[in-house]
Amino acid sequence: MDIAQINQKSILVDVDFYDDTEEKALLGTGYPSGARNMLKALVTKPIAIPTSEFLSYFLFHRKGSDGYGNYEQIQRRVKVAESYIDTCLRFDGTSVGLPSKGRPPRDITEHVGESISLSVVSRLFGLNEADWTPLPSRGGKRALRSFDFEIASDGKTIVQVESKGSAVENNARKEGSVPNHKRSIRGKKDDLSKPGVKDPYPASVRYGAIIALDARPQSRAKCWLVDPDPEWQAYEPKTLRLLKRMAFLQSWIGLLSPRSQLSASLATRLSDLMTLRDPFELDGLPLLRGSGEPIKYASLSPNSIHSTFLAGKSRVVDSAAGGIVIPVREDLLVFLAIREELVGVAAEQHFASIISFDYPASTRLTTVECVLPKSRLSGIKMPPDAVSSGSHLHFYLEGEVHYTPSGLGFGFLSIPD
């Protein structure tokens, strides 16, 4: 399905325990009571993951790692992900599944597995995509197997998730690669439980999630949960959450506005936080311009809803959000944006606001004022209303923009004939 034509607000997912043994473990006292209570509720009925949240994880699941560091890398990655969605997944208005013919490449099911796994576990701890970052890969034959993602959750718990994705004939049954994935997660658990073995990425709790998709009409995605042993450690979850969220802000603001003083100041502040014994010493100290004045952004004009941070950038015409547009193919652009409220949070550096930001997920049909450098026009169709202004083109495109809990916005905008 063409990604610009996906017309559903949420994706239903059936969540269940892999078996009675895993249920007993996941609801045991090794897990926080709040997470246990939420998990009990999740397995009683299908959960509705906002499509914006799913797509955010699917498109940018490795943002911050190698290959997602700049405009050109994001462009290449988004092109690949868009083609995967177009040819290898089915959005039927209810959930996500496989097309009727053929099986998707393995990395497609892995990406879907990550997207749904992180969405499910996020609900247990009140997390969003600003919190998750990939664990570094550990190579070599003797490298200890580790879990896929690490998170500082609510400031009390560090969580890891091992996610697996499967394409099967019928996801109501544990068939195909599903049992193998269970054994793989168990193998990592056993490796990390051996006497004298130290986990290279220790965590407070761990979850294993196996996601299965099939091609049956109107079938829902399936998530089976398993229990890798929790291992409590004397770590600082609150500090880890702060550092991950600061890294998230620096990464995205650096992409959307790489030459801004805010981007440079965020990079410096993040470096400082990572070297301090107590990063909270800098709580409330705003980021500064070269002049020594706090970084603030005034309104573009007396009646504008946008600030000067978005001067020269692409903007949602009826919402305080904006960023950049990137060509995906000749008739399609991807719009990457950030809420301006979050820009203020980043500049003001009140850590309570950074640790707690969480916005409603939504999808809205809207109009984007696109600003694209002429140097990046190669290979795209010229919009009919494009106006030249210096080294840039200005034009308007309509499309659905997805807003995520982390404060990001993104959408795929078709260029009309």
| Pick from 32, 380, 412: nearest CA to 204 | 32
Q: Is the pLDDT of residue 331 over 80?
A: yes
Q: Is the pLDDT of residue 341 over 60?
A: yes
Residue range 171-188: average pLDDT? 83
Q: Is the pLDDT of residue 148 over 60?
A: no
| Residue in this structure with the two tokens 């895993």, named with its chain if needed | 22
In a 10 Å sphere around its CB, with 0-12 CB exposed, 13-18 middle and 19+ buried, how is residue 80 labelled?
exposed
Q: Is the pLDDT of residue 109 over 50?
A: yes
**Based on the domain organization, do 107 and 181 belong to the same domain?**
yes
The model's confidence at residue 168, banded by pLDDT at 50, 70 and 90, is very high
pLDDT, position 68: 61
Q: How many helices (H) and strands (E) does the chain have?
A: 10, 16
The model's confidence at residue 242, banded by pLDDT at 50, 70 and 90, is very high
In sequence order, what DSSP letters do the residues of 199-256 get, joined into one string?
A: -SS--SEEEEEEEEE--STTPPEEEEEE-PPP------HHHHHHHHHHHHHHHHHHHH
Quickly count: other Cβ atoms within 10 Å of residue 410's Cβ: 21
Question: Hey, what's the torsion of the CAs at 307, 313, 316, 320, to 10 degrees?
Answer: -20
pLDDT, position 364: 93
What's the number of CA atoms in the CB half-sphere (13 Å) around residue 204?
20
The model's confidence at residue 234, banded by pLDDT at 50, 70 and 90, is very low
What single DSSP character describes residue 288?
B
pLDDT, position 6: 87
Q: Is the pLDDT of residue 31 over 60?
A: yes
The structure tokens listed for 113 are: 């597995």
Low-confidence winner among 70-74, 86-90, 394-398 (lowest mean pLDDT)? 70-74
SS3 content of the chain, % helix, strand, coil (to 5): 35, 25, 40
Percent of the chain with pLDDT over 90: 58
| Pick from 90, 289, 113, 334: nearest CA to 208 | 113
Residue 21 to residue 44: CA distance in whole angstroms: 18
Contact status, residue 336 vs residue 368, Cβ threshold 8 Å = no
In a 10 Å sphere around its CB, with 0-12 CB exposed, 13-18 middle and 19+ buried, how is residue 334 labelled?
buried
Low-confidence winner among 162-171, 202-211, 320-329 (lowest mean pLDDT)? 202-211
Contact status, residue 36 vs residue 27, Cβ threshold 8 Å = yes
Contact status, residue 162 vs residue 207, Cβ threshold 8 Å = yes
Sequence letter at residue 132 = W
Contact status, residue 284 vs residue 349, Cβ threshold 8 Å = yes
The model's confidence at residue 313, banded by pLDDT at 50, 70 and 90, is very high
Across the chain, mean pLDDT equals: 86
| Range among 97-111, 117-131, 197-211 with highest mean pLDDT value | 117-131
Sequence letter at residue 310 = L
First-to-last alpha carbon distance for the chain, in angstroms, is 20
Low-confidence winner among 88-92, 186-190, 210-214, 292-296 (lowest mean pLDDT)? 186-190
**Based on the domain organization, do 197 and 299 belong to the same domain?**
no
Sequence letter at residue 388 = S
Domain range for residue 97?
Answer: 3-235
**Based on the domain organization, do 60 and 139 belong to the same domain?**
yes
**Based on the domain organization, do 11 and 141 belong to the same domain?**
yes
Point out the domain boundary residue: 235, 252, 287.
235
Q: Is the pLDDT of residue 81 over 60?
A: yes
The model's confidence at residue 232, banded by pLDDT at 50, 70 and 90, is very low
Quickly count: other Cβ atoms within 10 Å of residue 299's Cβ: 11
Residue 78 to residue 75: CA distance in whole angstroms: 5
**Based on the domain organization, do 275 and 216 belong to the same domain?**
no
What single DSSP character describes residue 294?
B
Percent of the chain with pLDDT over 70: 86
**Based on the domain organization, do 228 and 257 belong to the same domain?**
no
**Based on the domain organization, do 167 and 262 belong to the same domain?**
no
In sequence order, what DSSP letters do the residues of 139-204 get, joined into one string?
A: -STTPPP--SEEEE-SSS-EEEEEEEEEE-S-TTS--TTHHHHHHHHHHHHHHHTSTT---SS--S
Point out the domain boundary residue: 235, 259, 292.
235
Number of domains in the chain: 2
Q: Is the pLDDT of residue 244 over 80?
A: yes
Note the Cα 348 to chain centre separation in Å: 24
Residue 349 to residue 274: CA distance in whole angstroms: 15
Point out the domain boundary residue: 212, 235, 258.
235
pLDDT per residue as tens digits for the range 245-291: 999 999 999 999 999 999 999 999 999 998 898 999 999 999 999 89
Q: Is the pLDDT of residue 223 over 90?
A: yes
The model's confidence at residue 106, banded by pLDDT at 50, 70 and 90, is confident
**Based on the domain organization, do 246 and 313 belong to the same domain?**
yes
The model's confidence at residue 237, banded by pLDDT at 50, 70 and 90, is confident
Q: List beta partners, residue 399.
A: 366
Residue range 211-228: average pLDDT? 92
pLDDT, position 383: 86
| Residue 393 φ/ψ, nearest 5 degrees | -110, 140
pLDDT, position 146: 39
The structure tokens listed for 285 are: 């100290």
The model's confidence at residue 307, banded by pLDDT at 50, 70 and 90, is very high
**Based on the domain organization, do 131 and 279 belong to the same domain?**
no
**Based on the domain organization, do 37 and 94 belong to the same domain?**
yes
More confident residue, 265 or 240: 265
**Based on the domain organization, do 213 and 266 belong to the same domain?**
no
Residue 270 to residue 133: CA distance in whole angstroms: 16
pLDDT per residue as tens digits for the range 380-412: 888 888 999 889 999 999 999 999 999 999 999
In sequence order, what DSSP letters do the residues of 61-126 get, joined into one string?
A: TTTTSTT-SSHHHHHHHHHHHHHHHHHH-EE-SS-EE--SSS---HHHHHHHHHHHHHHHHHHHHT
**Based on the domain organization, do 226 and 268 belong to the same domain?**
no
Query: What DSSP element (H or E) covers 275?
Result: helix 261-275
pLDDT, position 157: 85
Q: Which residues contact 304 (CB under 8 A, 6 or more apart)?
A: none
